[in-house]
Amino acid sequence: MPGAADGRSSRPGATGAAARDVMHEIFSHTADLGLRVTAPSLDQLMAEAARGLFTIIAGDLEQIRVRPGHEERFDVAGTDPAWLLVDWVRELHAAFELRRMLFREFDVTVDATGLHATARGEPYAPGRHVLAHEIKAITQHELSVVPTAGGWEAMLIVDV
């Protein structure tokens, strides 16, 4: 199973096929970082992309003990999966930049009107949380969301 040493992360507690089906991977991209996400469904892809974003920001969310005590609702209008992804991740990045929210749990539904999500986490606490990267922007460079034989795959580049 992929681990922190190689920049890959599977869902904690998942076993067997489930541990292989949902995954995010952080990769270097010049002065940027890339986020590649795979999942069996578009809903799970969007949730895992959110976890990947906060992994870029704060590292291992389990290790830094982000508590899921605060809940926020997000609605992103649109129908194109790639634009939904970039707009969703930008909303989450804005929540961190403006309100210092670190989220770790995501319930996401994508329907004909757009993306609807509930995110759970807590405000950044300097005494308990260590930040890994400062994200300057979520880019459109090499943005892709495509169906695959096993579900969905996405790639997104963030400027750090």
Q: What is the pLDDT of residue 94?
A: 98
DSSP string, 86-126: HHHHHHHHHHHHHH-EEEEEEEEEEETTEEEEEEEEEE--T
Q: What is the pLDDT of residue 15?
A: 52
Token pair belonging to 81: 């999966």
Residue 10's CB is within 10 A of a number of other CB atoms, namely 19
Token pair belonging to 115: 């993306």
Q: What is the pLDDT of residue 19?
A: 55
Q: What is the pLDDT of residue 18?
A: 56
* Residues 107, 117, 106, 52, CA torsion sign: positive
Q: Domains for the chain: give ranges and CATH numbers.
A: 4-159 (3.55.10.10)
Q: What is the pLDDT of residue 108?
A: 98
CB of 105 closer than 8 Å to CB of 120: yes
CB of 109 closer than 8 Å to CB of 118: no
Q: What is the pLDDT of residue 6?
A: 47
Q: What is the pLDDT of residue 93?
A: 97
Q: What is the pLDDT of residue 97?
A: 97
Write out residues in the chain with pLDDT < 50, as ranges. 1-6
Token pair belonging to 40: 């069996």
Continuous segment of H or E residues that includes residue 27? strand 23-29
CB of 141 closer than 8 Å to CB of 157: yes
Q: What is the pLDDT of residue 95?
A: 98
Q: What is the pLDDT of residue 8?
A: 52
- The answer for residues whose C-beta is within 8 angstroms of residue 149's C-beta and 6 or more apart is none
9 DSSP 8-state letter: E
